[in-house]
Structures are given as structure tokens and as C-alpha cells.
Structure 1
Amino acid sequence: MSSEDGYTDGDARGAPPEQLALIRETVRQAKAPRAKPRTWRGAALAKDLPVARVLVDKGVLHLDRYFDYAVPEELDADAQPGVRVRVRFGAGRHRVRDGRREGGGLIDGFLIERRAESDYSGPLAALAQVVSPERVLDEELLGLARAVADRYAGSLADVLQLAVPPRNARAEQRPSPDPLPPPPAPAAGSWERYEQGPAFLESLASGGSPRAVWSALPGPPLWCEEIARAVAATLSSGRGALVVLPDGRAVARLDAALTELLGEGRHAVLTADAGPQKRYAQWLAVRRGSVRAVIGTRAAMFAPVRDLGLVAVWDDGDDNLSEQHAPQPHAREVLLLRAAQDRCGFLLGGWSCTVEAAQLVDTGWARPLQAARERVRAVAPLVRTVGDQDLARDEAARAARLPTLAWQAVREGLRHGPVLVQVPRRGYVPRMACATCRAPARCRHCSGPLEAHGSDDLRCGWCGRTESGWHCPECGGFRLRAQVVGARRTAEELGRAFPAVPVRTSGREHVLDTVPGAPAVVVSTPGAEPVAEGGYAAALLLDGWAMLSRPDLRAGEDALRRWMGAAALVRPQTAGGTVVVVAEPTLRPVQALVRWDPAGFAVRELAERGELGFPPVSRMAAVAGPGEAVAEFLRAVELPPSAEVLGPVPMPVTPAGRPRRPGAPPPGEQWDRALIRVPPGHGAPLAAALKAAQAARMARGGSTPVWVRIDPADIG
């Protein structure tokens, strides 16, 4: 298809049959030879391959294609595939003034390909500028970006914005260091603790491509040393390695482990904290082949590592690994695509185990990498539970913040070292719930959460009205209890209970990395737990019922992952390490924590989801927006015959003053959401249908927003 102003589109649509299939882009060839391209004003063209196929930086689906431009003679040498260019693109190009077409505004893009002729026989606009002769986009990265865009029903330009960092001229002008020779293969080290650990390293060192789901043992942070050895084994074979981690603290620990094992200059660190110039310089060193190993946060999942031999991801259940910008890919899924595309090794590790990881093992695509049960019991702490019946019989729990067992664990643990206290949320003001049935206490005026401000002051957290004479609409009860007490309030109460012991907090505003091994109480929110020298003597996991009662399909999986992340920092049971979790002991996540069996929990969750048709066994997409727009979209989309539409149903209204999440309604507006489910193997047709419908809607100029998200994490 060509446009009247001389811009043409190439066929940039891939056809991935399965999630893990090798995806190759097909480019449409010209049906018949064309005359030599002409520009509007007759400018001299390059003698060889005078047509440039360009991807413009427009993240809208109806422009997700290539456009042909003429290559001026003066730009011939620099206009090579993979460079950044600027071209004229915009509404102004349609106007005619004094008998001549008027060029549109300049826009950035990538030169994809040089060709001898164009499918369009009319005059072509010329490239306006080659921003830099640095070739930042190669066929491998372009193929990966197209695969990600197709899987998530997004645009190629949006994915490349995530994959290629912004240009920094100063970093680009500096040469990258010369590559170092491959290091020697490392010893197995702490991998000896796992049944197949040494064999996994040997396979990487010999040029193999093993794929494993790794259940890391609790204890000191040896996981970073073990990942470092896997990277070193891959480098020793002359290949590259890529490791993606959820946050900067994990990256810093692995950075230190790699530097200690391999020395300086062997790996690059890609994080947003490094700053634009340093990060781009590191990225260029990887792109130029100077560095073969990369570690970083989720943006590193697209790092252009040459000759990939291993891709690894740590703690894939962490929300930080899910990109918030369109099309919102997950680092685990991108690395799975890379493992299939490059036929390299794959390592997915963590203290816990996600259902997606269990599915990889269940299908035979990956093998489990874990320790024998005797070794797990030797290094895991003792886990004790406090359930509803224990709280009902505990007189101290009725009047105090903690039950008797928890107080005893804190007092005993402080004799031997620091004690970790995990609370589900930060802050001070507690939100209230019915003491009998635990239904959240809601405001009668706006249905907002009720919060306690003092002993007798009960207010709505949304509208601020004072509530008096509250009673539970579910059971008729009149007694209230704190639903979740924040970290600051918990630290304040523990400080009064143990006045001679220092109390430290670690949370969103201030995250501690390490704490000394001296007696102290460390209050932390999930994911912000610091590492204690020598390990914690004890840990308390409070308000477990609040984490388990979230209206989310992954509530149990996420609660177990957060509990195990804290419990893994506690000393072994043989050294007196104790963990107390305040949650009902009969619940499956609590039992998995007591047995320290995250893989068994994930396998049972996978079986249940398979029976119910829930992800990841099935593929699912969410369509959200104003009710009429969602209904119109569903009528227009040509879904696969196997698709099942659930809904639409109203979404929860975002309270005023609360930040808006991607795909959530603006504060105060009512949106609807529909879920579309397809059986295994039909995810690609579903994504293609949704992408085509969204592109057609945008081309018609629809102003009402409609969000489309593949594999949403918050399906409820």
C-alpha cells in the first residue's frame, strides 16, 4: 500500500506460531522492477541501493510498518542499515504550496534496509539526516523486537524504545575497550550443593545450552556467587551471557560477585541508576563486542550480547521485572524468546517458584535444578505458625500487636543477633476490618477504607469523614481490628516493647542493604529486607492473612514468594534460626513455607489452573476502557474461533489523588474490562487479532482510550 505523498510501507509483520518458536521477519519483495527512484526536487541519489526502508519512531499501531525514502548522494556512506536517521513525517507533507509539496516535521527513525528499488513508482522524500553512523540496530535485535511486539500486540517502535537507549554523543565518540580473552572454566563451588549443579556448569563451559529452573537454597546470599560461576562458565566457552535481576540491590551483589570471580572489565552493568552517559557507554561496549557478559535490571533484557550462550533471570515473580511502558513485556518472556531465537542456555532461579517456571518443567522445556531434601532441611530455618485458633486462645494477642509466640521468638532471637519483622505495607495509619469476619471496614458515604487516627477517631481514607457507630454489613459485628499496620507504626510499638534494642526500618523511602550482626529489630516491607551479617536469628512475618486475602489470582504465589525471600535470610534451624508466620496453618502457601517446598506448591497451582483454564495454561488478554468503547472494540475484533470472552464488568474506581497504573481508569472515572481467553497454542492468533483491531481503531481516529494488554498480571 502506498500513500499519496510518496511514502510506502513494507511488510513488517512476522508470523510466530508459538511463544518459544524462532521468529524471523519476512520482507515483501517488489512484484515488478520499478524505475529508478525520484525525489520531489530531483536531488542526486546514491548510485547503489538508493532506497532506504525506515521505521519511524511512532508508537501507534496503524503506522507499525516500514516507509521508503530516497538516499541522497551525500548521505550514502553513513546511511547504513541499523543507524539512526531523521526523516520528514507528519501532517504538513500533504500540503502543496507554489506548486510544490511541503515537507512535514522531522522525526527520528531507524534505517532498516537499503534497496535498489521501491514498490512505489512516484517521487520519494529523501532522508533528512543521518543522526549518527553508529549501527545500533542489527538483524538479531530487530527480530527480537518484532517477536516481542507480536507477542504483546504492540508496535515495533515502542519495543525499540525499550531496547535501544537514547543516544549520548559524548559516549558514542569514545572508543570501547578491546575485548578480553575467554577466562578459564570455574570450579563448581557452591553448585556442589545441588544434585545437577556441576553438570549444569560443565555443559555451559563445553558450549552446551542447558535449560533449568533453579530452586536456590536459603541462607547467605550465595545465589549471586552461583550465578557468577554460571556466567564465567559461559564466557569460558567463548560465548556471551545475560542476567536480568529485579532491582539495583540484587545487581550490586552480583556485580561484586562477578568482579571478585573474574576481575574488572569482564562484564557490563546496565541500570537506570548509572546515568544516561555511562549506561549508553556500557551498552555500546556490549553492542561493539568489547564485553560479552551483561547484568542489569529489566531494561537489560534487550542487551545486544554477541554469541549468546546463556540468559538468566533471578526471582521472576517480582513485579519489577514487568515493564510498565507499552507493550509491557515481562523480562522472563523476553528471555524465553531469546533462548529460542539464539538457541542458548536458560536459567530461571529464585528462592520461590512461579507457576510459569513450573510450567516450563512440566512441558519438558526445562529441567529442575534443586538440592536433595536432606540438604534443604539442613539449611532452612524452623518455621512456626500462628493461626486464627491460636489468636483466639491468646490473651496477649487480643490486647497487643503480636501474639505470645511472636514475642517469645523476638525476645529469644535478640539474645543471639538481629531479628527481622516483615509487614505487608509501609506507613503508619492502620486500616480497619471486622474483628469477627475480617471484612474490610468501609465508609458509608464513598465506600473508602476506614482508618484509625487515635483510640476513638475513625475516619475514611478517601473522603475524610468521621465514622461513628460502625457495624459490619457482612456479619453484624461491632468490633474492629487493624487490617494491616504499617512499618513505621510496627517499629514504634516494637521500640516501646524493647527499649534497650535499636530498631531500624527498611522500606520505600529508605532501603537498607545490610545490617550488622548485633542484636537489633529490623522492620521491613516485602522486598526491602536487608541482609544481616551472619544471618538473622529470627524473623516474624506479620499479617499474613492480609497478603493472602488480596483479590488476585497470584495472591498465594506472591505471598509465598515474599515470605521465602525474608525467611531465606534467617540462620538454619541447626543454628537456632526461627521464623514465625502469622497466618492460618492449613492454607497451602503456609504449608509450603513450613515444608520449604515452593516447587511443590507451584506444581499444584499449575494443575488447578489447568483444570480451570487460567493462565499460564491458557493465554489471556485484557481489554479496558469506557464501557461503550470496550463494547465497540469487542464487536469489531475478529477473534479466533477458540476465544472465550469474559465480561465486560466494571473496574474498581481509582480514588482521587492515587497514582494511575497503566490500563487503570483515571481517578473518578468508571471503566469496564473484558477478559479474552484462548487455549494453549492459540496465543499468537489472539494477539494478532487484537493488534489488527486496535490498529484499525487508531486509523479511524478514535479518541476514547482502549487499553489492550496480553497476559495481565492483575486479572483477579
Structure 2
Amino acid sequence: MRGRASVSVGFGKNASVSSENGQGGGGAEGAPPEQLALIRESVRKAKAPRAKPRTWRGAALAKERPVARVLVDKGVLHLDRYFDYAVPEELDADAQPGVRVRVRFGAGRHRVREGRREGGGLVDGFLIERREESDYAGPLAALAQVVSPEPVLGEELLGLARAVADRYAGSLADVLQLAVPPRSARAEQRPSPAPLPPPGAPGPGTWARYERGAAFLTALASGGAPRAVWHALPGPEWSEELARAVAATLASGRGALVVVPDGRAAARVDAALTSLLGEGRHALLTADAGPEKRYREWLAVRRGSVRAVVGTRAAMFAPVRDLGLVALWDDGDDSHSEPHAPQPHAREVLLLRAAQDKCAFLLGGWSCTVEAAQLVESGWARPLVAGREQVRAAAPLVRTVGDQDLARDEAARAARLPTLAWQAVREGLRHGPVLVQVPRRGYVPRTACARCREPARCRHCAGPLEAPDTGALRCGWCGRGEDSWHCPECGSFRLRAQVVGARRTAEELGRAFPAVPVRTSGREHVLDTVPGTPALVVSTPGAEPVAEGGYAAALLLDGWAMLGRPDLRAGEDALRRWIAAGALVRPQGAGGTVVVVAEPTLRPVQALVRWDPVGHAVRELAERAELGFPPVSRMAAVSGTAEAVAEFLGMVELPREAEVLGPVPVPVAAPGRPRRPGAPPPGEQWERALIRVPPGRGAALAAALKATQAARMARGSAAPVRVRIDPPDIG
């Protein structure tokens, strides 16, 4: 391993600690004071000279390389290093680098009797390497068990995991928990098929619609490593285009990896790859497959039997041999952000892989994120777009309904469906299904005055009043019921839904169009496809099913609710969700129409009308650069109780360019609602501080935060502090 500075540290007089410094040096001089004291005490107590262990409890050890360097699966930062163990002779053949092992580990439970190691709990780990000697001067504990002789952790995957851990201020063990799936003995016993020879290079197909599409495929097939940000044209062709990019990479004798946001998208790419290449050339890695099948597919990739992978978020770590292409679809989707520590984003992991393996990179989607625009502006990637004539031919007609239109149509204003929307529905139902997108799940989540639109508030705590399925008003914060509400602004006693959920919208549309079937798609039941016959399809964002032949029309309701969120990405996310729905509608030449209920002068609405998400992202990037917000800067969030955050900020040695914003109180989740990642536990009031550094100083920021968190854990600080690099919500 490169860049290792080893120090002899006795952990319970059982195992040595090898400290690894990612900067290629440092050693004990950079260790916290507590660790330095432990080092000095270990050296002082060492009685025997450094030597290779040859016996343990009277049992013979391996004759060659009798020391195993192990990463224990503890996941805490102050133990984010390797530990040395002796290799018994009976485990010599199976104890090879990359296998899973079990070792005795645990402070305060080890004792030495007549030179023998006793006590300590068994924990899982990975054997990193075999060595002739240990850096620890005393006797070593022995490996307790080799769980499986299957080498699941290779050098490339280990290097990637270390890079991800360093970038996100996390531990290597936590990253490997995300990267290596749980073991299935039955899957390991089943042999993987023999690898198939490379296929022939595919034709350009629908890639010819893009200005540099054919050249991109040619570069992949010839062994090149082009890097592109791809603005896909509306329609279902995106999955076939991804499949052709994979096929072109396989034709060059290299492997390919495609990461998509959900199982439905993975199934479409899987079907396109099977249609183009046949069976046996790619693996599908999704949670829907079940642990045994998924592990079997993962092993086929690890053994080199399969050279192409398509999967959801966890597939970003798939150990593809001779990687030639990494591709990501719809990087703005929340599903690409891992909720478990250290919470990496699939886009950033694939960027690390592209740099590590020097392979091609493709970031695609119907919309465009600010991060994607930055990759193009920096020159790291090239744009892969179609001409404006192609965009106009493929996109539907977009019409808007603003507040002025609603004010002139009082009845439609109360029902949230203005006359233009009703007309679009009626006309669309003559030719096929109509999609209705509502911005929130549920059944009338919150209410407002029907006359003046003033939000309805609780008289006790000023929380939002909600009308659940029972119809009785209650506060969303304190839970108190309300049976005599009236508007304090205009005196009206009538209420309306601020945002009406999918079920309520489906009921209203069902009454308005009694002869038309109504289908809903949302959290409880997500539809994959719907027939091309006339029907109303009510869906929440991200759950829109694909209609055979495309939708005849689409209604995008309550756009103000999506644009009004207090979040830096509110406009970008709203535009992405609108475009994702509009991309399922037939082209304008075939009568496809999209009606969005939102103020037409707003920038995201204008970008939708022009079907220009790239231009919107470029303007957003310019504003972020002016204000110093991500992705132009690197940012981290530190959250916890006020005392814990103050203690952390007092300890951390930040880069001199760092700027601390806050701390400010963290919003508390309403009773009965799920707690968001990073939110305080029930009953606690947390604060959050944001730390910002300029470009090029992100690694220094992550290292400083990780060192401080490790020092707090080592000394047993009671109050927890959560650190997150690149927090998704900084609004």
C-alpha cells in the first residue's frame, strides 16, 4: 500500500495498529495527544525485540508471510486503520488478501496468561495483505477464522473505497459495507459462467440525433476515454442509447458500468441490453433481485465472467474488470445519494472511478444539474446535445397557467384546474392517456383560506393545520384538533387544500370524467407502464409510469408548491421533475401538450417552455459562483446539540480559507412524520453549522473534520456530532 506510515500501538496488548496517512507521510507526529501517549506507553512496556511470530498457543504459524494485516469492521473513525494478526498454519492456504476473516477484537477484554491471548469479541473484517513482519513489537493475536476463501476485496476496490472515505470524511469500513454485499455461501459455491468474447461494435442508432453522438460511440469502440455530459432528447430512446454505449465499450474489450436511480429504470436498461447483446453479457444489480441472486451476480462481475453492469445506487462500487466506461442517468435524483455513512453520492463516486481507472465518463438525463454544468464549464467533460431543431421536433408543446389566469377563472381557481387544463385533458383523452402530476403524496396534507389563500394556522402553536382522511382539522406540529377555525385576515370560514395529494386529485378527476378510468401511481403502489388507451394517470414526481406510445397530454399541478420550498435547489428540482414528466408525452407534432400551473415569468417555468434545462443550469451555476455556493465551493454540515457543535468547532483545525456559517437551529420534524437524515432525534433541539471552502481545499476540509471527529470518539465524547460533506439541503 502506498503512503503508509506505521506506528507501533498496543491495543489491549493484543494487536498492533498501523496508521495510514493519505498524504504519504505524517506518522506519529500528526497523531492526537491521546494516541501519542498510547504510543509512548506501548514502546515503554515492550519487552521482546521485533520478530516474526512463529507460534501461538503452541500451534504453528504460517511459514511464509505469517502476519496478516486486517481491516476490522468497526466503522468508527478512531479505529480507521489496519491491525496485525498472526496467521495459523491451518489457515495459511485460505488466508489470502481480499478474503473475509473473523478476529478477536475489543478493548478492556484482552488479557495475557503465559504469553497466550484470551478474551475479546469476534468481529468481521477483511484481510488486506500478508507480511513477513509486524510493526508491533509484542506477540500478536491470531486470526480466528477465514469466513470464506473467496477474495471479494481487490486492490482497485480497496483504493476506490479509501478515496471515497477520504473525500467524505468517513471510515474505510463504512464504505466497504456499502461496496461489498453480504455473503451468501450458496452463491459462492455456484460457479460463474465462462466469459463471452467481445461483441461487434454497434451502429449509432438514435445516437445519430445528437451532434457528436456517433463520434462518442466510435471513440468508445476504439478504446478511447471520452467524457461527456449528455442532454437526452424526450422519449423512451434513452435506455437503448445507454445500451449502445455499453455495447461499444464491450466491443473494445473493456467493461462498462451504468448506474440508474431506481429499479424501473434499471429494468428498462436491462431489457435494452438484452435486446441488443443477448443473454449473459451483463449483470443486473438491484435490491429487488434479493440478497442471494444479487450476490451471485456480483460474484460473476468480480470473477470476470461478466464485463457489463447496470444497477441502482450500490452498483457504483461494482468491481468491473478493465473498466472502460462509467455512466450515470439522472444525477439529480435523490436516490443517488446514499443515506448511510459516509453518505456518498453516486455521481462523485463515478467521477473518482473515471479518474482512478482513466476510463470514459457519461452523465446523462433529460434535465441538467448544476454539477453537470460545472463539469462542462471546467472543460473536464464535453457537452453531448442535439440541435435545437431536433429538440423542437421531439419535445411536446408547453403551455402555462399563472396567478392572473386563475384570478380571472374563480371556479377553476378553487378547484386548482383552470379552464385551459380542463380543455387539455378533454382533448388529450380523445387520443390516449393523460398524465396528472401532483407535487406531494397523501390526502389534503395542508389547508389555507379558500378566499385569500392565507395558510391555516393552529391557534395554540401557529403550526400548519392539516385535514387527514377523517376530515377533522388537526395541527401538524402539536397535534391539537381544531373545530372552529376562521381566517384572521379576511374572516372566511371556508378552507381549501394548499397541496392536494394524489388520491384526492384522482377522486376529483374521477367525478369530473366519470366514464374515464383513473389510475394512481405513488409510494404505496408505483406503476411501471400503462396502456395507450384513454385514461387519467395521477402520479407523484418520480413515480410516473411509461405509457405505450406516450401520453397525449400532461398536467403539472401546484407548481408554486415545488418552487416555493426554502431550498437552494428548489428551482432545479422542480424543472427536473417537470421535464421528466414532459419527456413521457408525445412530441408536439403528434399533438402532445403539457400544461404547467405556475407563474410563467419564473426562470424554471421559462426553461420548461423553451425545453432548455442546460441554459437554466448554466445560469444557476453563474449565480452560485457569485454567491460562493456549491458546487463552486465545497461545503460540509456539522450538526448536533449547541454544546456539541460549539465544542467541535473549537477543536477542529480548519483550513485558513474556511468560512463558518451559523450555527442555526435545525428544523424539528412534525409529530408522526418520518425524520429526515441529519435531523435531530425526537425531543432534542439541534443546531447546524455550515463550513465552506474554495475549490481545491475540499480534501483539506474533509481531513480536518475527520481528524476532529476521530479525536472526539477516542476520548468518548458523550454528545454526538454528525458531519456530512456536500449536504444536499442547505436552504
Distance 1:496 1:464 in 2: 32
- Alignment partners' CA distance in 1, 2:377 and 2:202: 31
CA distance in 2, matches of 1:310, 1:389: 49
In structure 2, the residue matched to 1:2 is 9
What is the aligned partner in structure 2 of residue 287 from structure 1? 302
Distance 1:457 1:655 in 2: 18
Listed one character per residue, the Cα deviations across residues 191-239 of structure 1 (whole Å, up to 9, x for unaligned) are 00000000000000000000000000012x1000000000000000000
CA distance in 1, matches of 2:279, 2:649: 55
Distance in 2 (alpha carbons) for counterparts of 1:351 and 1:365: 20
Letter of the 1:411 partner, please give it: R
Q: CA, structure 1 residues 401+324, in 2 after alignment: closer, same or farther (shift >3 Å)?
A: same
Aligned position for 2:145: 129
Q: Secondary structure of the residue that 2:497 maps to in structure 1?
A: strand
Partner of 2:50: 34
Alignment of 1:5-404 (within 5 A): 5-15=13-23, 34-37=50-53, 41-91=57-107, 93-95=109-111, 101-219=117-235, 221-404=236-419
Contiguous gaps of at least 5 residues in structure 2:
1-7, 26-42, 44-48
Partner-residue secondary structure (3-state), 2:482: coil
Paired residues, what number? 701
Q: CA deviation at 1:527?
A: 0.5
CA distance, structure 2, for counterparts of residue 150 and residue 16 of structure 1: 13
Are the structure 2 counterparts of residues 2 and 439 from structure 1 closer, same or farther at C-alpha, using a change threshold of 3 Å?
farther
In structure 2, distance between residues paired with 1:49 and 1:540: 68
Amino acid paired to 1:490: T
1:621 maps to 636
> Quick one: structure 1 residues 433 and 618, their matched pair in 2 at CA, closer, same or farther if it must change by over 3 Å?
farther
* Equivalent pair of 1:460/1:467 in contact (CA under 8 Å): no
The 3 A distance-change label for structure 1 pair 452 and 151 is same
Task: Assess if the C-alpha contact under 8 Å between 1:503 and 1:522 holds in 2.
Answer: yes
State whether residues 43 and 72 of structure 1, in contact with CA within 8 Å, keep that contact through their aligned partners in structure 2: yes
Q: Deviations over 1:109-141 (max 9, x none)?
A: 000011111111110001111111111001100
The letter for the 2-side match of 1:705 is P
Q: Give the letter aligned to residue 591 of structure 2.
A: G
Matched, 1:542 2:542: no
Contact persistence 2:431–2:552 (CA under 8 A): yes
Query: Deviation of residue 663 (structure 1)?
Result: 1.3
Shift, 1:6, TM fit: 3.4
Alpha carbons of 1:618 and 1:9: their partners in 2 closer, same or farther (altered >3 Å)? same
Residues 587, 467 of structure 1: CA spacing in aligned structure 2 closer, same or farther, 3 A cutoff? Answer: farther
| Structure 1: stretches of 5+ with no match in the other structure | 18-30
Identity of aligned residues (%): 84
Cα deviation, 1:133-170, whole Å, max 9, x if unaligned, reads 11100110000000000000000000000000011001
C-alpha distance 345-476 of structure 1, shift in aligned 2 (>3 A): farther
Change (3 A) 1:48 1:180: same
* Worse-matched range after superposition: 391-400 or 411-420: 391-400
Q: Deviations over 1:249-285 (max 9, x none)?
A: 0000111000000000000000111111101100000
Shift of 1:449: 1.9
Is this contact kept in 2: 1:191–1:226, CA < 8 A? yes
Measure, in 2, the Cα distance between the counterparts of 1:311 and 1:458.
50
Go from structure 1 to structure 2 and tell me whether the alpha carbon gap of 1:279 and 1:258 turns closer, same or farther (over 3 Å shift): same
Deviation at 1:491, TM superposition (A): 0.2
Alignment check: 8 A CA contact 2:443 2:468 kept: no
Query: Would you say the 8 A contact 1:643–1:676 is kept in 2?
Result: yes
Aligned residues of 2:69 and 2:128 also touching (Cα < 8 A): yes
- Alignment check: 8 A CA contact 2:476 2:671 kept: no
d(CA) in 2 for partners of 1:624 and 1:202?
48
Question: Cα distance 1:629–1:496, how it changes in 2: closer, same or farther (>3 A)?
Answer: same
Corresponding residue SS for 2:430: coil
Where 2:636 maps in the other structure, the secondary structure is strand
Q: Secondary structure at the match of 1:346?
A: strand
Distance 1:59 1:201, change over 3 A: same
- Deviations along 1:26-78, whole A, 9 cap, x unmatched? xxxxx9x9322256534311111111100000010000000001111111111
Distance 1:102 1:447, change over 3 A: farther
1:476 CA drift (Å): 9.3
TM-score normalised by structure 1 residue count? 0.95
AA aligned to 1:34 is R
In the alignment, is the contact (CA less than 8 A) between 2:100 and 2:147 conserved in 1? yes
Equivalent pair of 1:654/1:668 in contact (CA under 8 Å): no
- In structure 2, the partner of 1:28 is none
Q: 401-410 or 8-17, which moves further after superposition?
A: 8-17
Q: Could you tell me how far apart the structure 1 residues matched to 2:474 and 2:140 are?
A: 66
Q: Deviations over 1:441-469 (max 9, x none)?
A: 33232343212469995332341321534
Picking from 669, 674, 683, the partner of 1:668 is: 683
- Which residue in 2 is equivalent to 1:22? none
**Does the aligned pair in 2 maintain the 1:421–1:542 contact within 8 Å?**
yes
Change (3 A) 1:436 1:699: farther
1:12 is matched by which residue type in structure 2? E
SS in 2 for 1:198: helix
CA contact (8 A) 1:663 1:707 kept: yes
Inter-partner Cα distance in structure 2 for 1:310 and 1:67: 35
What TM-score do you get using the length of structure 2 for normalisation?
Answer: 0.93
- Aligned counterpart for 1:564 among listed residues 558, 561, 579: 579
